[in-house]
Amino acid sequence: MTELTTRQRYDFKRDLEEISSLRGQHTELISLYVPASKQISDVTNYLRSEASQASNIKSTQTRKNVQAAIESLLSRLRYHRQAPENGLVLFVGSVVTGNNQQEMRAYVFEPPQPITTFLYRCDSTFHIDLLKEMLAEKDVYGLLLIDRRECTVGILRGKKVDLVFYDTSQVPGKHGRGGQSQRRMERRTEIAAEEWYKKMGERASEVFRNTPGLVGILVGGPGPSKRYFAEGKFLHYELEPKVVDLFDTGYTDESGLKELVGQASGALQHLGLVKEKKLVQRFLREVQKAQSGVATYGEGQVRYALNAGAVETLLLSEGLRRYRVQIGCSQCDYLAGDRTLKAADVDNRLDEKCPRCGSRLVVKSKKDVVDELSELAEGSKATVELVSQDSEEGETLLKAFGGIAAILRYPLEIPTKLDA
Ligand code: ZN
């Protein structure tokens, strides 16, 4: 499985967003999921039989469109002897465009995670649910359940829980005999319990320290033992700050792991957002400073700071729906320079004429502004942070600051009137 970088994740998300917005006039958009295990020749045969069945479609237009889409799929599959490791996903079909025209579109993906089942679907929309699931964040958490009798350790990846080990203790139960022997017994019990916690702490620490990408640890159990364990420094000191919280569960065996994750879900959701909340809060503190604040916002200002190499962290809202476009003449080689347009405006006709030949100006090329600014930032080794709209701070970044902001390396004099 390939781990997506933040940027790849963003690009993938945007592609899926675009694809999911497309509509066919009728059921004529084809989604094809090919797992690596499937022979391409089998897929080709399958498509040929679909094509012959399509000849029964009554509407001439729909029939033609479906057959054209299948032809297009067949010709694309010709490039592959075999599906790649994670399989192949193709979306092909005639989509309705702005002016009620139809246009043939084709998208081919090698998904970031393996596809397991073959799927052929002809519908009025493309089927992207399977790909969407692959976008879910895959944070890794350590799970630990403990009391005096049992200890279970597991790992949570995304929504998947894996058991790592289960162990039971030799700590004697508490049963009274009275007198001297009772106290001796109690003392022995306490020593045994201490050793049990120590041993489990070491085993769990070894597991957690060797789990790449571990962001937190959830500790659970039915009684007070979990608190005693968590506060008793039984985990390696590097792991202590990673303990998210303690949670009550009814069980300390494998069945308790799912229970633990359920109990912690609220805390986990909150945790995922903590990093971006903190970033935006830091930006806001800088912006509010009357003097020598190291922050700026607005596309023109941020571009200026990026070009000066003064940006430490570039904050971009995932809710930005803008393109950096190059405008030029439709007839001659006149270029009118770059502009930033709202996604909705990119396909609109421009009401401008070429100053050289009087022909219409058009959009020559476009690039998602998040990608374009990220590349600019990478040039000066600035960190790029994509901020979701899932927190109040994320909303503020988009609504109050236009979704483009920067924390600077040093205070910088930036002209207030700047065009993007
Ligand atoms: Zn011109």
Rounded to the nearest angstrom, the distance between the alpha carbon of 371 and the centre of ligand 1 is 29
* pLDDT, tens only, 371-389: 999 999 988 889 999 888 8
Cα 347 to middle of ligand 1, angstroms: 20
Better-scored residue on pLDDT, 415 or 330: 330
**56 or 132: which carries more pLDDT confidence?**
56
179-213 pLDDT tens trace: 677 888 888 889 999 999 999 999 999 999 998 87
What SS3 string covers 148-164?
Answer: CCEEEEEEEECCEEEEE
Question: Rounded to the nearest whole angstrom, what is the distance from the C-alpha of residue 326 to the centroid of ligand 1?
Answer: 14
Give exposure, 42-74, as e/b (b: 16+ Cβ within 10 Å): ebeeebeebbeebeebeeeebbebbbbbbebbe
Distance 332 CA to ligand 1 centre (A): 4
Rounded (5°) CA angle 1-130-110: 50
pLDDT of residue 272: 67
Owner of token pair 């499985």: 1
Query: What's the gap in Å between 33 CA and the centre of ligand 1?
Result: 45
What pLDDT shows up at residue 63?
93
User: How remote is the CA of residue 358 from the centroid of ligand 1, in Å?
Assistant: 6
pLDDT tens by residue, 254-295: 999 999 998 888 888 777 677 788 889 999 999 998 788 899
Q: Over the stretch 226-261, which tens digit does the pLDDT of each residue have?
A: 999 999 999 999 999 899 899 999 999 999 999 999
- The confidence score (pLDDT) of residue 80 equals 86
Strand ranges (DSSP E) for 202-319? Answer: 214-221, 243-248, 295-297, 311-317
Cα 350 to middle of ligand 1, angstroms: 14
CA of 329 to the centre of ligand 1 (A): 5
CA of residue 1 relative to chain centroid, distance: 14
pLDDT of residue 177: 59
Helix, strand or coil, per DSSP, at residue 323? strand
Give distance in angstroms: CA of 101 to centre of ligand 1. 27
Question: Are the CB atoms for 26 and 62 separated by under 8 Å?
Answer: yes
pLDDT tens digits, residue range 63-119? 999 999 999 999 999 888 888 999 999 999 999 987 778 899 999 988 888 888 899
Position 1 scores a pLDDT of: 46
- Give me ligand 1 centre to Cα 360, in Å: 7
Write down the pLDDT at residue 345.
85
pLDDT exceeds cutoff 70 at 16:
yes
Ligand 1: distance of its center to the CA of 361 in Å? 8
Both tokens of 357, joined, read 């030949």
- Quote the pLDDT of residue 174: 63
pLDDT at 175 over 80: no
pLDDT (0 to 100) of residue 176: 56
Reading phi first (left if > 0) and then psi (alpha if -120 to 50, else beta), residue 413 is in beta
Geometric angle at alpha carbon 148, from 145 and 150, rounded to 5° = 50
What is the share, in percent, of the chain residues with pLDDT greater than 90? 60
Alpha carbon separation from 420 to 21, 74, 287, 325, 330 (Å, rounded): 28, 44, 20, 12, 23
Taking the centre of ligand 1 as the mean of its atom positions, its distance from the CA of residue 349, in whole angstroms, is: 16
Give residue 43's pLDDT: 95
CA of 299 to the centre of ligand 1 (A): 29
What is the chain's mean pLDDT, rounded? 89
Rounded to the nearest angstrom, the distance between the alpha carbon of 328 and the centre of ligand 1 is 8
With vertex at residue 127, the alpha carbon angle to CA 29 and CA 129, rounded to the nearest 5 degrees, is 170
Query: How far does the centroid of ligand 1 lie from the alpha carbon of residue 340, in Å?
Result: 21
Q: What is the mean pLDDT of residues 42-63?
A: 93
